[in-house]
Amino acid sequence: MRIIVDAFGGDNAPLEILKGCEMSVKENGYEIVLSGDEEKIKSCAAENGISLENMSIINASQVVTMDDHPDCILKAKSDSSMAVGMKSLAAGEGDAFVTAGSTGAAVIGSTFLVKRIKGVKRAALATIMPNDKGGNFMVLDVGANVECRAEVLVQFGVMGSEYMKAFLGVDNPRVALLNVGTEDTKGGELQKETFSLLKNMPLNFIGNVEARDLLFGAADVVVCDGFSGNIALKSIEGTAQYLINNLKPVFKKNLGTIIAYLMLKGSLKDFKKKLDYTEIGGAPLMGIAKPVIKAHGNSKAKAFKNAIDQAAVYAKSGAIEKIADVVKKGKDTADENS
Amino acid sequence: MRIIVDAFGGDNAPLEILKGCEMSVKENGYEIVLSGDEEKIKSCAAENGISLENMSIINASQVVTMDDHPDCILKAKSDSSMAVGMKSLAAGEGDAFVTAGSTGAAVIGSTFLVKRIKGVKRAALATIMPNDKGGNFMVLDVGANVECRAEVLVQFGVMGSEYMKAFLGVDNPRVALLNVGTEDTKGGELQKETFSLLKNMPLNFIGNVEARDLLFGAADVVVCDGFSGNIALKSIEGTAQYLINNLKPVFKKNLGTIIAYLMLKGSLKDFKKKLDYTEIGGAPLMGIAKPVIKAHGNSKAKAFKNAIDQAAVYAKSGAIEKIADVVKKGKDTADENS
């Protein structure tokens, strides 16, 4: 398994990324291809005692920054670590690509440099989160497309369903549409049209789901446009952070509670980890013809290692081939009916 | 102060509502007008030892249920407790109206029976939540209009700003647009257009805000369409509930943590309360010509009492007159410029 890694994406590049890669090589024996400024990578590794064993470097002279327009990856920054890594993936020089860089550039780069699966209309950024039943659910799109048409959302349902089957082994994933109520007629034009299309798909479509039920295992795949998905994801993130911040003063009120806090610290850490979606790895770019994982911008070594692991499992899972197959069948059926 | 109350709205009607009204009369001396089936109200009060002192009843033979189409309030259920209460408010028989019934019916009823402020294009359902700075912020719309035009969102900004000034005494409220990123150019067509309109309004518009920053005091007034506002609100609700549920097992791991749990129980309750937006009261229907408060459907007596208090303060605050004034001035300026 050969994973191409953007060594200059995210807030903690390249140090934390190199550390994460080293962990991944040691633990899982993956071969890593680092894209980025060769000299800087080597000196950072040397200065920090990081072994580059089992890693190679493809040089890239530029870096996509958060201030860059996402389109830059195609022209102005076509020699950036992200662009070079993606082109290397497209050329078959690795099995998957991981970046913690700009989400917008990752979406555009994947779409135009790695390319979409044939028949897929739009790529989606998907997040996988834990639910309270001990399982996981996927929300897509969480930000690649702020505006979507109904047919695009239907494909998101297909892609999410195949991913959950192949990658996480979920039987017959329950696909739901994110909406403002559970009744069939809820939402705006987009939701109503998507609902009626999803109903007629060979999917386990269970109807509308409300945002408040997501973490309680209401569905395995939650379909939405990138705007509302992003709002849901960031509301969940923000609330978790708010609650964790607010627990500390509660604990530190008096000697009794300070003792209680010390006793519970470990359990709370576990708990925070459970909520922290970077623990699962990153967000797969669904609909892209090869595995691309977008790690969180503030990923540290451990989170980055998890994203690499996720990329490897994704590459092995056969999910992309399954999606290609289902989308092709859907198209063939549509062609026959037309 | 005379508050009209829908005695048959919500999951716990009429018992918890009557209890809440009784609390309100005792604590604040408000005069309450109950709308609903007179016989049932009287027998429920008698059976449960609730005093109806300082309360009067206007009879209504019907109840709007959750299965009813919201439009029913105008025709099929025009003699429902909600419709009768609203008509009584419109006729000037009270200073404000509170219902825990169907949100959809409350929006339609307010719009057509109580009517909007002159010049206001759409009514919005607004939620007020606490932030971690000890203040509060308002999100609007959270569900009255799943689809909105930019000019409608701009008015939401105006209304929210005036409400926060008059009702909560916030100086120069910071108005922000809910978006997928903080950069000026983020979002879809709706956000881009709204952004450029808000920039030119006599408001303290601070730009885009991300959902993850809402609880951290990023803005005083958060403007959004009812779809994404609803997603944000319910994501926050769901995550808080998830975290509280998940804390219990953490606490109950062993004798040490059970003791810790017992020590912390009170503090945790306070904490949950802080997050529970029903504590603040209900959601005001912004843009309606008289104060209408939509209490949470599962409100118990205390929450309902809080909603009544909120309605009274809203009526006294002069917020509606301020909004009417600002909207009129905006219209006059637009007319002059055209």
- Three-state DSSP class for residue B93: coil
Angle between helix B301-317 and helix B319-337 axes, rounded to 10 deg: 50
Using a CB-CB distance cutoff of 8 angstroms, which residues of chain A are in contact with residue B242? 132, 215-216
Q: Once rounded to an integer, what is the mean pLDDT over residues B74-86? A: 98
3-class secondary structure per residue, A236-280: HHHHHHHHHHHHHHHHCCCHHHHHHHHHHHHHHHHHHHHHCHHHC
pLDDT in tens, A247-293: 766 666 666 666 666 666 666 666 666 666 555 678 999 999 999 99
How many angstroms separate the CA atoms of B76 and A302, rounded? 61
Mean pLDDT of chain A: 91
pLDDT in tens, A213-229: 999 999 999 999 999 99
Q: How many CB atoms lie within 10 A of CB B114?
A: 22
Is residue A244 classed exposed, middle or buried when 0-12, 13-18 and 19+ CB atoms within 10 A define those classes? middle
Whether residue B331 has pLDDT greater than 90: no
* Between B268 and B120, the higher pLDDT residue: B120
Helix (H) or strand (E) holding B201: none
Using a CB-CB distance cutoff of 8 angstroms, which residues of chain A are in contact with residue B264? 250-251, 257, 260
- Three-state DSSP class for residue A172: coil
* Distance set, CA B266 to CA A253, A335, B244, B261 (Å): 12, 64, 13, 9
Residue A171 structure tokens: 């039987």
pLDDT in tens, B46-67: 999 999 999 999 999 999 998 8
How many angstroms separate the CA atoms of B301 and A226, rounded? 39
Please check whether residue B216 touches A, CB under 8 A: yes
- Which percentage of chain B shows pLDDT scores above 70? 88
Q: How many CB atoms lie within 10 A of CB A318?
A: 14
Whether residue B279 has pLDDT greater than 70: no
pLDDT in tens, A30-84: 999 999 999 999 999 999 999 999 999 999 999 999 889 999 999 999 999 999 9
Please check whether residue B74 touches A, CB under 8 A: no
Q: Once rounded to an integer, what is the mean pLDDT over residues B153-163? A: 96
Residue A27 structure tokens: 């633990």
Helix (H) or strand (E) holding B227: helix B226-251
**Side chain identity at residue B146, one-letter code:** V
Residue B246 pLDDT level (bands cut at 50, 70, 90): confident
Please check whether residue B143 touches A, CB under 8 A: yes
Provide the whole-model pTM. Answer: 0.90
Residue in chain B closest to A69 (alpha carbons) equals B185
Compute the C-alpha angle B157/B162/B165, nearest 5°: 125
pLDDT at A332: 72
Residue from B145, B230, B255 to probe the interface with A (highest A Cβ count within 10 Å): B230
pLDDT at B152: 97
Nearest to A105 by CA among A306, A234, A285, A311: A285
CATH of domain B1-120+287-338: 3.40.718.10
Whether residue B277 has pLDDT greater than 60: no
How many angstroms separate the CA atoms of A284 and A303, rounded? 14
Helix (H) or strand (E) holding B157: helix B150-168
Q: Once rounded to an integer, what is the mean pLDDT over residues A79-91? A: 98
Beta-bridge mates of residue A33? A4, A56
Which residues make Cβ contacts (< 8 Å) with residue B7, sequence separation at least 6? B13, B14, B17, B18, B34, B35, B36, B37, B41, B57, B81
How many angstroms separate the CA atoms of B188 and B71, rounded? 31
Contact yes or no for B308/B21 (Cβ under 8 A): yes
pLDDT at A272: 64
Instruction: Give CA B284 to chain center in angstroms.
Output: 3
pLDDT at B106: 97
The CATH architecture of the domain made up of A125-281 is 3-Layer(aba) Sandwich (3.40)
The b/e string for B188-220 (b: 16+ C-beta within 10 A; e otherwise) is bebbbbbbebbeebebbbbbbbbbbbbbebbbb
Contact yes or no for B258/B187 (Cβ under 8 A): no
Interface of A with B in 221-240 (CB under 8 A): 224, 226-228, 230-240
Residue A336 structure tokens: 């026959």
Same fold? B1-120+287-338, B127-280: yes
Is residue B47 classed exposed, middle or buried when 0-12, 13-18 and 19+ CB atoms within 10 A define those classes? exposed
pLDDT at A109: 98
Pick from B89-93, B96-100, B185-189: least confident: B185-189
Residue B243 pLDDT level (bands cut at 50, 70, 90): confident
Residue B311 structure tokens: 């309605």
Whether residue B255 has pLDDT greater than 70: no
What backbone torsions phi and psi does residue B223 show, to the nearest 5 degrees?
A: -100, 135
pLDDT at B271: 60
Instruction: Give CA A72 to chain center in angstroms.
Output: 21
* Between B16 and B258, the higher pLDDT residue: B16
- The DSSP bridge pattern shows strands A96-99 and A292-294 to be parallel
Mean pLDDT of chain B: 91
How many angstroms separate the CA atoms of B77 and B60, rounded? 10
Please check whether residue B338 touches A, CB under 8 A: no
Residue in chain B closest to A243 (alpha carbons) equals B240
Domain boundaries, chain A: 1-120+287-338, 125-281
pLDDT in tens, B285-317: 999 999 999 998 888 999 999 999 999 999 999
- Fold (topology level) of B127-280: Isopropylmalate Dehydrogenase (3.40.718)
Subunit contact B230:A211, Cβ cutoff 8 A: yes
- The DSSP bridge pattern shows strands A124-130 and A204-210 to be unpaired
Q: Once rounded to an integer, what is the mean pLDDT over residues B112-117? A: 97
What backbone torsions phi and psi does residue B32 show, to the nearest 5 degrees?
A: -115, 135
Residue from A65, A146, A183, A233 to probe the interface with B (highest B Cβ count within 10 Å): A146
How many angstroms separate the CA atoms of B73 and B222, rounded? 30
pLDDT in tens, A143-177: 999 999 999 999 999 999 999 999 889 999 999 99
Using a CB-CB distance cutoff of 8 angstroms, which residues of chain B are in contact with residue A237? 212
